[in-house]
Structure 1
């Protein structure tokens, strides 16, 4: 497969970069952002520092873009063979692999500039965070658990948010981190169920392949576990009925996702994945409302 890149206008190049950073598909930004916002609101008891919130949101945008770029760079040999990824800018020959690496470096430097606005603990935590984000795309070659590794990377926004807001890492940060990791395992497995046939052909590993016929049951158990951990977080943080109401809404959305997955149709598996945006938003709404009504 040649990566010869045709000469194009500056506008076409910017458009290709925009799609490479996946800004035309904001779902990943939301999935990364909701747990960070859960953490910030609990850490700030409903009144997190506006500066910290701004930096975390900007950092989320930049690092998610960086993650997408390095992911497509890592997958440039696989993407042309997968129905869903054939049109990605590197796979389609619109962006050269070295251009993508250059863009990745620029985005990482932007992320570094942002984190330097925060306290020393948050700066220190950004190092393992950056490592998790950059190494994730390579895991699908070696383990059936890349979805769990993605959770470790995406969830890292939680301890960073607590550190940025409080200057420390209170115990409650860790159950929120665990819930986020397990939730990512749920939604990224739903995502992987879309690609299962292609992945089996090209030898990419995933939890969708590992779970096989047990996929829906395992996902249901994980969803219940996420909700139970979040319920415990609510008790630990002294949250009351508005939070429980948000969790009940999230439980309803989890049930709806299971209904979508019932025949394992690709389009509905993808719909279930996208629905997780509302799951995260509903949990956040419960947290925000709880502090608002105090």
Structure 2
């Protein structure tokens, strides 16, 4: 009796079989493949309809296809097939979002996240680029055969975090009208509305106050020299509106620690050592920040912002090759005048290779590759620091 009822139901559903299958699998706008394999294939339906009515084979096929049709009908009625699944709600996208989240999103309270993002605490490369010239200078100022002052390294490391954060705060405050028009920066706290300028000014005050606490632990000469760097920090964000060489101005700002580190140890400046060291940092910045600026060149043209990436254009690699040679040459002169031993020159050769690799292999039209090469400069800084350390210990 059950088989007879199923066969009759199948006969009544015959006209709807193809319509239901077509609705599920070929509906307009349903661009993604269905996760359900089509069960009502033409071959199977042909077998069903060609079987003699009342035969055992017919009744078995009818029952099977009735159950299959019920599962398809249930699937199609569970949602509108014309409506695409929300990408953000897909479980694999949720897992991807969690895996791509920074430690700020995972561990900090909601109230602190905008400030941490403003200080770029999730992107430590800027802190490394600011700290390495300080570490170079402090280590070079150590006595021959001795390790550098660990307290000074720690103080300048903390200072790099604070000063880099303060610089980012000033930069974002002044550039909030530009950041909203640039794809890479439109989600920054001021541009996206997470923070108000008033909150940013308050946060800047906290950062500068903590930085002052570090500066007061240095000698008087270093305090004056360190305070003078604030003029560069506050004026740098304006340079991209005035000149095609904001990267050079950033080099003057970011490498001030090459002067300050030596002064913190020695209480003075030795021009034969610190000026070539400072110059090497400026040339280094022109290399890595020009590569970095190529990420934004299309947006910069639209909003009227200047950069060396736009100034150099197709000749960028020629220019940054020259800056790279000047950087390595200045490091050689500084180490020679500081009487560093042979390990320094071995590591300097490795650092030159790393810098040359960046320049030769970077694809200036690939934003992700520009960013990878930019971030790799932390290893250049580490190689130079290792050379100075071992060269001082062996001298």
Give me the TM-score of the superposition, normalised by structure 1. 0.93
The answer for the alignment partner of 1:141 in structure 2 is: 241
Q: 1:216 aligns with which of 304, 311, 317?
A: 317
Matches within 5 A, 1:1-294: 11-45=109-143, 46-171=146-271, 172-262=273-363, 264-294=365-395
Shift of 1:243: 0.7
1:55-101 deviation per Cα after TM superposition (whole angstroms, max 9, x unaligned): 21111111111011111111100111111111111111101111111
Structure 1: state its 5+ residue gaps: 1-9
Aligned partners of 1:260 and 1:271 also within 8 Å: no
Q: What are the superposed Cα offsets for residues 117-165 of structure 1, whole Å, 9 maximum, x if unpaired?
A: 1100011012221111111111111111111111111111111111111
Q: Structure with the greater relative contact order (CA < 8 A, sep ≥ 6): 1 or 2?
A: 1
C-alpha distance in 1, partners of 2:263/2:178?
38
Per-residue CA deviations over 1:13-58 (Å, capped at 9, x if unaligned) read: 2011101100000000000111111100001135333332222111
**Matched residue, 1:4:** none
Cα deviation, residue 11, structure 1: 2.2
Q: Residue by residue, what CA displacement relative to the aligned partner does 1:209-242 show, whole Å, maximum 9, x if unpaired?
A: 1111111110011101100111111211112321
CA distance in 1, matches of 2:269, 2:365: 40
* Residue range with higher mean Cα deviation, 137-146 or 51-60: 51-60
Separation of aligned partners in 2, 1:283 and 1:102: 37
Does the CA-based 8 Å contact 1:42-1:287 persist in structure 2? yes
What 5-or-longer segments of structure 2 have no aligned partner?
Answer: 1-107
Distance 1:209 1:174 in 2: 29
User: In structure 1, the residue corresponding to 2:312 is in which secondary structure?
Assistant: helix
CA distance in 1, matches of 2:364, 2:207: 40
The residue that corresponds to 1:6 in the other structure is none
SS in 1 for 2:376: helix
Q: State the Cα distance separating 1:291 from its structure 2 match.
A: 2.5
Which segment is superposed worse, 264-273 or 110-119? 264-273
> What SS class does the counterpart of residue 90 from structure 1 fall into?
helix
Change (3 A) 1:263 1:20: closer
Deviations 1:177-229 (A, max 9, x none): 11111111111111101111110110011011111111111001110110011
The number of residue pairs the alignment matches comes to 285
Kept in 1: contact 2:142–2:392 (CA 8 A): no
Rounded Cα–Cα distance in structure 2 between residues aligned with 1:133 and 1:29 = 14
* Alpha-carbon offset, residue 293 of structure 1: 3.7
**Which entry has the higher C-alpha Rg, 1 or 2?**
2
For the residues of structure 2 that align with 1:271 and 1:18, how far apart are their CA atoms?
22
